[in-house]
Chain A
Amino acid sequence: MKASRHIAVGMLLALAVAAAIGLAQLQTVRAQSRTSAGTSAEATKQIVSAAQALLATLDGAGRAKVQFPFDGPQKARWSNLPSGIFQREGLRIADLTSTQRDAVRTLLTTALSRQGNEKVEAIMQGDEVLRQGEPANGPGGGRRGGRPGGPGGGVNFGKDQYFLAVLGTPSTTQPWMLQFGGHHLAINLTMGGSQASMTPSLPAAQPATYSIEGRTVRPLGAENDKAFALINALDNAQRSQAILPYRVADLVLGPGQDGRTIQPEGIRASALSASQQAMLLELAREWAGIMHDAFASARMAEIEANLPNTYFAWSGPTTNGSAAYFRVQGPTVVIEYAPQGGVDHIHTIYRDPTNDYGARFASK
Chain B
Amino acid sequence: MLFGYHWDTAHGEWAFALSILPMLLRGLLVTLEASVVGFFVAMVLGLILAVLKGARSRLVSWPATFVTEFIRDTPLLVQLFFLYYVLPDYGIVLPAFLTGALALGIQYSAYTSEVYRAGIEAVEPGQHEAAKALDIPPGRTFTHIVLPQAVPRVIPALGNYLVSIMKDVPVLSVVTVLEMLNVAKIIGDQTFDYLVPLSMVGGLYLILTLVASAFVRFVDVSLPKRGLPLR
Q: Do A and B bind each other?
A: no
Binding site for B on A (CB under 8 A): none
